[in-house]
Structure 1
Amino acid sequence: MSRLIIVSNRVAPISEGGPAAGGLAVGVYDALKETGGMWFGWSGDVLTSGQPQIALEERGPVTFATIGLLRRDYDQYYRGFSNATLWPAFHYRADLVQYDRHEYEGYSRVNAWLAQQLVPLLREDDVIWVHDYHLIPFAQALRAAGVKNRIGFFLHIPFPASQVLLAVPPHRELVQALCAFDLLGFQTKPDLRAFCDYIVNEAGGTTAPQADGLTRIEAFGQTLCAGDYPIGVYPDEIAELAKAGERGKPVRTLKATLHGRKVIMSVDRLDYSKGLVERFRAFERLLDHAPAQRNKVSFVQIAPPTRADLHAYQDIRLRLEAESGRINGRYAELDWTPIWYIHRQYERAVLAALFRASNVGYVTPLRDGMNLVAKEYVSAQDPEDPGVLVLSRFAGAAQELSGALIVNPLDIDGMADALNAALAMPLAERLARYQDMMAQLRENNVSVWRDRFMRDLGQVRVRQGVGLPPLEPARG
C-alpha cells in the first residue's frame, strides 16, 4: 500500500479540542489521520544559529516530521516572498505586492533545502502531496534530486488572472515550477481557468479537457494534469461539536450578556483579504438605514492575530480598532454594544458552539480560495432553527453554497440589505436554505476532496507510465 506524504509550509500543532487552526491545517490533518502517513514541514521555530535538524514524532497513524528555519530563511522565504509578494498577488492586491530579488532567491533556496531534508525519509512507492503557495518550486527541487515518485500540488488560495500574476516579476519561473508536478489541484473552476489562460497566452503551452474531467496541460517541456477540488469539512462532526458546546460557559456568557438580542457572527484571521473594514462599515450602514435593528442585534467579530510582524497586518489591526471604536461611539447605549471586536483565538469546539448560537454568519472576504468558516458555520447550525449565511461571491465556497445570501463585499449598501434580510428571514426559508447547503456539504466532505485528488493522482500516467496503488484507510 502506498504511503501518503503531506508537505506543507507549517505542520500545525493540532490537538483534539485545541485552538482552531486554519483551513489548510484542518483539511490536511483530517485527511491524513484517516489514511496514515507522514506530515512534513516547518515546525514554526525560528533559529538564530546552528543547523536545523528534523524532529520525528509518531501520533497514532501519523508521523510528524518537522524542522526549524534559520532567521534569514524565515525572513526571505516566509515573511518576504511568500507573504509580501505571493499572498497579495494571489488575492488580487497587486497594490500591496512587495518584491525583492534576494527574497525570491531565498524562497527558491529554502524550497530546495526542504526538499533535500525530505528525500532521505521517502520510500519508493510514496505518494507526495504538496500544499500551497509557499512550496511552488518543491516538485522541481525533488525532481532535481532524482525523486520519481508521483507528486501532486494543491493550492488553497486563489490563482490570479494572468494580468494580475504578471505583477510578480518571476511569474514565468513560478508557473514553470508548477509544471514539474504530476497533478495540480485548484479550489474552483475559475482558478483552474486562470491557470490555463496563463499556460496558453503567456507560456505558449496547450490545454485540453479529458474524458475523466481533468485538463491535460503541455508547457515548458512537461506534461501534467490539473483539476478543481473544492475542499470540504466534516459537517456532522462539526454539528456534534456545536451541540456539545451549547451549554458551555462561552455560549452562556454570550447569551446572558446579549439579553435576547440577535447575533451576527464573523470569525477570520486578521488579514486584509478578508474584507473586515468593509464588513464593519456595512454593519454601520445597517444600523443607519434600519434603525429598528438598533439595540436589537450585536455584531461579534473574532479576528485572531496573524503575521503580526508584517506592516500590512499591523495597519489592518489599527484600522479595525479605529472603525469599531468609531461605530460603537456613534451607536452604543448604556446597555448595548453594537460591535464586539475580539482579537484573540478560541478553540474549535468553542467557535462551533458560538456559530450555533448566532443568527447570521457573516463571511465576506474580498477574495478567498474556499473559506471553510462558511462551511463550518452552516454545519454548526441547529437543524430545527438554523441561522442564515451571508457570503461573499469572491469566496470559493460561494460556488457551492447556493443557500447563502450572496453579496459583493464592495457593495456596502448591498451587504447591509443582506444582513437586514437575514435577520428578518422566516423559519421556513431558513430551513430550506440550510437543508440545501447541508446536503452539499455532506456530499463533498473532506474525505471526498482527498479521495478524488488521490484517485486522480494515482491515475495520471505521465512520468512513470503506470498508476499507483490506491491509498487505504489506516488500520487502528
Structure 2
Amino acid sequence: MARLVIVSNRVPDVSDGAAPRAGGLAVGLADALVPGSVWFGWSGKCIDTRSHEVTRAEAEGVTYATIDLAEADHRAFYLGFSNATLWPLFHMMPSFVTFDSAEYKAYREVNEQFAEALMALLRPDDLIWIHDYQLLGVAADLRRRGVRNRIGFFLHIPFPAPALFELLPCAEELLAGMLAHDVIGFHTPPDRARFLEAMAAHGYQVQGDDVLHEGRRIRVVVTPIGIDVEGFSRLAGRAIRRVEAKRVVDSLNGRTLMISADRLDYTKGLPARFDAYRRFLGSYPEHRRRISFLQVAAPSREEVEKYKSLRDELAYKAGAINGAFSDFDWVPLRYMTRAAGRGLLAGMFRISHIGLVTPLRDGMNLVAMEYIAAQDGADPGVLILSRFAGAASLLPEALLVNPYDIDAMAAAMHRAMSMSLEERQERHEALLEHIRTHNATAFSRSFVAALNRFN
C-alpha cells in the first residue's frame, strides 16, 4: 500500500510526542494519517536565513517533518502574496487585494524551498497530497525535479470567478503550475466550475470535469471536508459540565444565548453581523432582555493593517450596541477578542439556542458543522448560515441568509427566537444526517481514492 505524504503550510505541533491538537485540517485528515504516513510543512518558526534542513518528530506512528522559514520570506510569502493577494482575491473581495512582484517572487521561492526539502523524504510510490492556496506551485517544482509520483491538491478556500482571477498578473503561471497535479479537489461544485471555466478561458482543453493537457488527464473532483461528528458531540457533552460553561449559564439568567465563533478576519462578515444584531434589537423589541449574543473573535494576522482596522471597527460597533440597548442588569453583546479552546467552544455551542455563521465568503466553514454536532437533539438550537459559505450547499435546513442583507439577517434572528421545538428538532435531525454523511472520514477517503484511481 502506497504511503501518504501530506504537505501543508503549517504542521501540527507534536514536539512533545503527543497527538496533534484536533484543529480543522488535523480532524479532516485523521482517517488518512495511518502509521507510516508523513506530514510535511512549515514549523511555525522564523530564522535569519533560508534553510532546507528538515526536522522530524513522531506521534502515533506518523512522521511530522518541518522546515523553518527565513523571516523575510515569511513576511513576503505568507503575509504578502498568500494573504494580501490570494486570500482576498479568492474570497472575491478585490478591493482588499494588493500585488507586489517581489512578494510573488518570494512566494515562488518558498514553494521551491518546500519542494527541495520534500525531495529527501519521498519514496517512488508515495501518494503526495498538497493543501491550500499557499502552495499552488509546489507540484510544478517537484515535477521539475523529476518527481513522477501521483500528486493531489486540495483548495480549502473558494476559487474566484474567472473575471476576478484574471486580475492577477501571474494568473497564467499559477494555472499552468496547477496542471502538475493529477487530482485537484474543491469543496463545492461551483468552485470546481469556476476553476474549469478559468482553465478554458486560458485555452486549456476541458472535458467534462477534467482538464486534458499534454496527453494527461487532470481529474477535478468535489470532496467536501467534514468533522468527526460523534467525537465533537461527546466533547460538547463533557464541556457543559465544566465550570466555565456553568458560569455562562448562570450569567444568562434564563436568557437565550446566540453565539458566533470566528477568526478576526474581514471575510467573516463581523461588521455586518453586528449591524444585523443592532437592527434586530431595534426592529423586534419583544426580544430585548431575552437574548445575549456572544461573539468570540480570535486574533488573526494582527501585524496586518487591515486586521487592526477591523478590530477597531468591531470594538466601536460593540460599544455602540451596548450603549444603545444595555440595561442595568443586561448587556446585549459580549465581545471577546481572544481565542477560546475547542472544548470550551463546544460547550458554549451546546448551551446556545442560536448559532450565527455568516461569512461574506467561505470555502466550507466547519464551525457550522460543529454547532450542529454539539446540539442536544431533544432541544436543539437553530443555525443561521450564510448562503456564501461552502457548507450552505450541504446544510439546506439551516436558516440561509445573504450576509450583505442586514434586514434579512435580523429577520432570521427573530425567526430563530420564535421557532417551535418541533421545527427545531426536524431541522436539526436533517442537518445532523448531512454532516454524518459528509464527515471527516468521507472527505479523506474520497480524495485519496480519487488519487489512487489515477493512472
Matches within 5 A, 1:273-292: 273-292=267-286
Tell me the secondary structure at the aligned position of residue 328 of structure 2: coil
Question: Is 2:363 aligned against 1:369?
Answer: yes
Tell me the secondary structure at the aligned position of residue 31 of structure 2: helix
Tell me the secondary structure at the aligned position of residue 344 of structure 1: coil
Alpha-carbon distance between aligned partners in 2 of 1:85 and 1:191, rounded to the nearest angstrom:
18
- Note if contact 1:188-1:396 (Cα within 8 Å) is conserved in structure 2: yes
- CA pair 271-89 structure 1, distance change in 2 beyond 3 A: same
2:109 — aligned with what? Answer: 109
- CA pair 257-17 structure 1, distance change in 2 beyond 3 A: farther
* Offset from partner CA, 1:226-275 (integer Å, 9 cap, x none): 01111111111110000011111121111111111001110000000000
2:27 — aligned with what? Answer: 26
The CA deviation at 1:31 is 3.4
Opposite residue 159 of structure 1, the aligned amino acid is F
Alpha-carbon distance between aligned partners in 2 of 1:17 and 1:284, rounded to the nearest angstrom:
43
Opposite residue 133 of structure 1, the aligned amino acid is Y
- Note if contact 2:355-2:384 (Cα within 8 Å) is conserved in structure 1: yes
The CA deviation at 1:27 is 2.0
Alpha-carbon distance between aligned partners in 2 of 1:34 and 1:364, rounded to the nearest angstrom:
35
1:37 — aligned with what? Answer: 37
- Note if contact 2:27-2:440 (Cα within 8 Å) is conserved in structure 1: no
Alpha-carbon distance between aligned partners in 2 of 1:434 and 1:236, rounded to the nearest angstrom:
15
Deviates more, 1:387-396 or 1:346-355: 346-355
Matches within 5 A, 1:35-434: 36-49=36-49, 51=51, 53-201=53-201, 203-209=202-208, 215-219=209-213, 223-434=217-428
Opposite residue 388 of structure 2, the aligned amino acid is F
Opposite residue 26 of structure 1, the aligned amino acid is V
The CA deviation at 1:219 is 4.2
Alpha-carbon distance between aligned partners in 2 of 1:135 and 1:50, rounded to the nearest angstrom:
17
- Note if contact 1:371-1:396 (Cα within 8 Å) is conserved in structure 2: yes
- Note if contact 1:20-1:346 (Cα within 8 Å) is conserved in structure 2: no
- Note if contact 2:269-2:360 (Cα within 8 Å) is conserved in structure 1: yes
The CA deviation at 1:166 is 1.2
Tell me the secondary structure at the aligned position of residue 92 of structure 2: coil
Opposite residue 142 of structure 1, the aligned amino acid is L
Residue number among 443, 451, 455 corresponding to 1:449 in the alignment: 443
Alpha-carbon distance between aligned partners in 1 of 2:251 and 2:379, rounded to the nearest angstrom:
21
Unaligned runs of at least 5 residues, structure 2: none
Alpha-carbon distance between aligned partners in 2 of 1:407 and 1:346, rounded to the nearest angstrom:
26
Identity fraction in percent = 43
- Note if contact 1:111-1:138 (Cα within 8 Å) is conserved in structure 2: yes
1:212 — aligned with what? Answer: none
- Note if contact 1:19-1:346 (Cα within 8 Å) is conserved in structure 2: no
- CA pair 296-184 structure 1, distance change in 2 beyond 3 A: same
Alpha-carbon distance between aligned partners in 1 of 2:131 and 2:451, rounded to the nearest angstrom:
14
- CA pair 19-11 structure 1, distance change in 2 beyond 3 A: closer
Tell me the secondary structure at the aligned position of residue 318 of structure 1: helix
The CA deviation at 1:26 is 3.4
Alpha-carbon distance between aligned partners in 2 of 1:237 and 1:24, rounded to the nearest angstrom:
15
Tell me the secondary structure at the aligned position of residue 31 of structure 1: coil
The CA deviation at 1:51 is 3.6
* Offset from partner CA, 1:164-200 (integer Å, 9 cap, x none): 1112110111111111100000110000000011111
Alpha-carbon distance between aligned partners in 2 of 1:331 and 1:70, rounded to the nearest angstrom:
49
The CA deviation at 1:387 is 0.2
- Note if contact 2:187-2:223 (Cα within 8 Å) is conserved in structure 1: yes
The CA deviation at 1:44 is 0.6
* Offset from partner CA, 1:41-95 (integer Å, 9 cap, x none): 0011111247463210010121110111001110111111000000000000111
- Note if contact 1:390-1:418 (Cα within 8 Å) is conserved in structure 2: yes
Structure 2 length-normalised TM: 0.97
Deviates more, 1:421-430 or 1:217-226: 217-226
What root-mean-square deviation, in Å, do the aligned CA atoms of Structure 1 and Structure 2 show?
A: 1.6
The CA deviation at 1:223 is 3.1
Alpha-carbon distance between aligned partners in 1 of 2:19 and 2:381, rounded to the nearest angstrom:
24
Deviates more, 1:423-432 or 1:11-20: 11-20
Alpha-carbon distance between aligned partners in 2 of 1:34 and 1:131, rounded to the nearest angstrom:
18
Deviates more, 1:280-289 or 1:51-60: 51-60
- Note if contact 1:20-1:347 (Cα within 8 Å) is conserved in structure 2: no
Alpha-carbon distance between aligned partners in 2 of 1:162 and 1:35, rounded to the nearest angstrom:
40
Tell me the secondary structure at the aligned position of residue 354 of structure 1: helix
Alpha-carbon distance between aligned partners in 2 of 1:34 and 1:264, rounded to the nearest angstrom:
38
The CA deviation at 1:142 is 0.4
Tell me the secondary structure at the aligned position of residue 168 of structure 1: coil
Opposite residue 116 of structure 1, the aligned amino acid is E
* Offset from partner CA, 1:351-383 (integer Å, 9 cap, x none): 111100100000000000000000000000001
- CA pair 375-50 structure 1, distance change in 2 beyond 3 A: closer
- Note if contact 1:230-1:370 (Cα within 8 Å) is conserved in structure 2: yes
Tell me the secondary structure at the aligned position of residue 303 of structure 1: strand
- CA pair 335-52 structure 1, distance change in 2 beyond 3 A: farther
Structure 1 length-normalised TM: 0.92
Opposite residue 158 of structure 2, the aligned amino acid is P
Opposite residue 454 of structure 2, the aligned amino acid is V
2:6 — aligned with what? Answer: 6
Tell me the secondary structure at the aligned position of residue 401 of structure 1: coil
Alpha-carbon distance between aligned partners in 2 of 1:32 and 1:299, rounded to the nearest angstrom:
38
Alpha-carbon distance between aligned partners in 1 of 2:377 and 2:289, rounded to the nearest angstrom:
27
The CA deviation at 1:422 is 0.6
Matches within 5 A, 1:457-468: 457-461=451-455
